[in-house]
């Protein structure tokens, strides 16, 4: 499929840049390199969408970018308030002293693939999100992007996070289906609602799996 091929090309450029960054750049410049890659992806995606005939990519990006910005909130709650997530200092500026600024745009990358491949199906989006984010959770500590702490884990992935991340994919697909043809304000509101829902799901999952005594 041409659309998937074009998306793979875009992500291959990102992967090549990421490989070069982690191969040749070191802290504290590494954090700035990661930030540059995230910014580049969020600039190239809408440009690529317009020039490749995939106009709906641009529409999707206008929903995913504010959602990614709002995702700083759950990252901050987990790292600052509960203390079960840490972001190693790679040298990038931080939001609230804890969350690297590149995280405000990084969520666009996996969620773009989830919603693109789900084709509007909330069930498919949930299943894809589980796979995509499980892979991300496994790889992140290897590259020192983020790491779970003080929680039970299997194969380097925190147990509590898997169901909420599947629900994130489901909620994002449902919200986008409602506002895909709406204005930017509607997409911002929907993105905020999804992020609040995801934050609550994370906190409930953590307390049920790690703190509750039955």
Other beta carbons less than 10 A from residue 1's beta carbon: 6
How is residue 32 written in tokens?
């700035």
pLDDT above 70 for 214 = no
- pLDDT (tens digit, 9 = 90+) per residue, 18-67? 888 888 899 989 999 999 999 999 999 988 887 777 878 899 999 999 99
- pLDDT (tens digit, 9 = 90+) per residue, 113-136? 999 999 999 999 999 999 999 999
Average pLDDT estimate for 83-88: 95
DSSP 179-211: HTTS-HHHHHHHHHHHHHHHHHHHHHHHIIIII
Average pLDDT estimate for 4-31: 86
The model's pTM is: 0.93
Q: Tell me 100's DSSP state.
A: E
Other beta carbons less than 10 A from residue 43's beta carbon: 11
pLDDT above 80 for 3 = no
């Amino acid at each position: 499929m041409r659309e998937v091929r074009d998306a793979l090309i875009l992500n291959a450029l990102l992967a090549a840049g990421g490989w070069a960054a982690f191969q040749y750049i070191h802290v504290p410049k590494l954090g700035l390199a990661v930030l540059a890659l995230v910014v580049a992806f969020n600039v190239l995606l809408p440009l690529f969408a317009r020039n490749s005939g995939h106009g709906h990519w641009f529409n999707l990006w206008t929903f995913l970018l504010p959602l990614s910005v709002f995702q700083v909130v759950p990252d901050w709650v987990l790292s600052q308030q509960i203390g079960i997530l840490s972001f190693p200092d790679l040298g990038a500026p931080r939001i609230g002293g804890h969350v690297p600024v590149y995280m405000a745009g990084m969520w666009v990358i996996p969620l773009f693939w989830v919603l693109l491949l789900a084709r509007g199906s909330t069930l498919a989006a949930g299943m894809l999100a589980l796979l995509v984010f499980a892979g991300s959770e496994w790889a992140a500590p290897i590259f020192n992007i983020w790491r779970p702490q003080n929680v039970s884990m299997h194969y380097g992935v925190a147990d509590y996070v898997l169901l909420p991340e599947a629900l994130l994919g489901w909620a994002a697909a449902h919200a986008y289906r409602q506002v895909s043809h709406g204005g930017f304000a509607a997409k911002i509101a929907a993105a905020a609602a999804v992020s609040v829902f995801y934050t609550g799901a994370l906190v409930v999952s953590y307390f049920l799996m790690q703190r509750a005594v039955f």
